[in-house]
Structure 1
């Protein structure tokens, strides 16, 4: 309450922790760390009491483990990454954090992809890593959805700039597609027919490969995995001292797409239509996800309007001082309503008129 500016209130056998606009972002991590600290001290026999961060009464609840997926922490529904879960695990924490909304990290740096490509060049990324990086930024897909593509996924679409892929929660079923530029298409075909062919067991090119063959291979001819790819990604990020989780490429794609929608659409109806198309393309399970990005652009639009107001005020101030110099003896004319009589007026207008008395 003192250090993190939270409000705490009692509820049965536990406490609700409510963040305020002054609260830091890491309250949940602090509570989790504190809970783990006591757990470790108890296990090391350095703390002989029960864990004060655990609500002992909740442990007795028979529904405690309903809906739990082992080693699979769930993202909130607004993230649009998972299918809705009808049941949920009841937390056993003594302090329960509420009103802690998930927010993706909006990335508005227009030059971010080129910074990443440059980082890859510094650590000598192969053509494989270059293609994957381009497809992540241009297609807005998750890393695994790109890395695990098959030749059949690429052939399934009518366009050479597209490939079918799975979605998180679709269990490998191809339910969406990703799209990329013509330049990336050329890089992809060059990779498949040259670099990949070197590591293929029969040195096959695109036309000779079966549909179930993976697009990306390791140096020993096995299917490339996200774990193997991440080693190359992290190496490039560390080299250039960039802290960039690969999932942020997806947020960058949405931010850039939204910017294009707002800057090039001519009507509100066109904006709505194109936003719905983006929702369909991203295959978000929760359509409210886009509202977070809309809020970002609404704030940006407000800043533009506000800055324009500042510019206009500056010009008016200059005009005012210029008039004062030319009309030193003239008094300014102010029009004030001396009486409103029995007129019916809105409360906000009446409040404003009171300030003129």
Structure 2
């Protein structure tokens, strides 16, 4: 059994996080996580770690190479064999041999985490080689294919001669398309946006939380997910200072995926959620805080959300409560779908309030900038073009409508307990005919 825990604040350690195997520290994955920090953002490192834990458990219990179990530090040949088996039998993929690598075909039974798993495993072995803990070549990299492509690129049109300089104009231009060095290459991975077309979805989740006795903390985070379109980690890791630094009492600053912890965007919530948040801070949170501080007394770097032990809440600890609520209430819903729901709802509101095509496009651009889908360094150049006031006006209308919809939903549930609403996701075939701009916006969510 593999799992990880963050280091408690009162303990001094060079590790921010420890991975455990059968109640003992497992340092290969622990060292991998810390090697990732600074190379990729923390949320991506945690995502990679979550993809690797089931594989390592499977290695210990199910792996087989010529009658023996395979260890993570075995030769690249053994690792490739067991990874191929894992993809076929655990992830329901179809594998096809091709020269020096393998083509991976996803099936309708394959999970949507395969690409992330392969990236995580490749990243893990890169770290282990860098840290001198793995003494073979990276089993997830096809060195022969890269070498072959390189030779083709430097070969000129003259027999046995290198390429002429580009300025000579005698050679065809080299394609600068990035060469994939993966040993396992996914060939039918095409992301389809999930357009959540159910205005009652947030209120189904809130009711599910009530049924499993969510604390005020869980309810506030759930409301913030649907009201802001932010990722769960961007909300869970908010600090008191993130609230104080915005002029509007409904706003926070937070980091973005790929910003390496730098606070580069703001999120907005409803007035009702702000009231709930302050009630949480001055009641539940205060009781868990070792100094029992109120909002006014808390320093800027204090985390808004605390665990039951008084330590900063982690995604892993929060997700347990979310997952329990949706499973018991038979909702097939991961937290990221709240982000999809937000975009769909905002775009619907844009079409409802806009009076011309130019206004629609302007509001779409405002939404793109609010969501920070583009490279943050590039977006900083255009940040002064983003009129926050216009976003607030449109966002307030959406929040008002959400509050009304919630009241309507509660009334409907009270009058018809037997009726059961389901999450409606437009299938991919329908998405092809949907607004192209919406598809482009939703692609930025991944």
**TM bracket (short chain):** 0.5 to 0.7
- C-alpha change, 1:266 and 1:297, in structure 2 (3 Å) is farther
Query: Which residue is equivalent to 2:217?
Result: 128
The CA deviation at 1:129 is 0.4
Unaligned 5+ segments in structure 1 are: 1-8, 36-54, 65-85, 303-357
Note the 1:293-304 alignment, pairs <5 A.
299=433
Deviation string 1:155-182 (CA, Å, 9 cap, x unpaired) is 0100111000000111110010111101
Contact 1:199 1:220 in 2 (8 A): yes
Following superposition, the deviation at residue 100 of structure 1 comes to 3.4
Matched, 1:100 2:100: no
Cα distance in 2, alignment partners of residues 59 and 298 from structure 1 = 37
CA pair 63-162 structure 1, distance change in 2 beyond 3 A: farther
Matched, 1:270 2:359: yes
SS in 1 for 2:433: helix
CA 1:183–1:63 in 2, change beyond 3 Å: closer, same or farther?
A: farther
Alignment pair present for 1:144 and 2:228: no
Give the alignment's TM-score, normalised by structure 1: 0.59
Task: Specify which of 232, 237, 248 is matched with residue 159 of structure 1.
Answer: 248
TM-score computed with the length of structure 2 as normaliser: 0.48
Q: How many angstroms does 1:195 deviate by?
A: 1.3
* Equivalent pair of 1:28/1:97 in contact (CA under 8 Å): no
- 1:220: Cα distance to partner? 1.9
- State the SS of the aligned residue for 2:209: helix
Which residue in 2 is equivalent to 1:280?
A: 369
2:60 is equivalent to residue 60 of structure 1: no
Distance 1:226 1:60, change over 3 A: same
> Structure 2: how far apart are the matches of 1:174 and 1:241?
36
Give the distance between the partners of 1:56 and 1:242, measured in 2 at CA: 36
The alignment partner of 2:296 has SS state of: helix
Q: Is the 8 A contact 1:132 1:147 kept in 2?
A: yes
Structure 1 position 98, deviation (Å): 3.7
- 2:296 and 2:142 map into 1 onto residues whose CA distance is 60
**Equivalent residues, number:** 244
Aligned to 2:206: 117
Gap regions ≥5 residues in structure 2: 1-95, 119-138, 149-176, 377-425, 437-446
Q: Counterpart in 2 of 1:222?
A: 311
User: How big is the alpha-carbon RMSD for the aligned residues of Structure 1 and Structure 2?
Assistant: 3.9
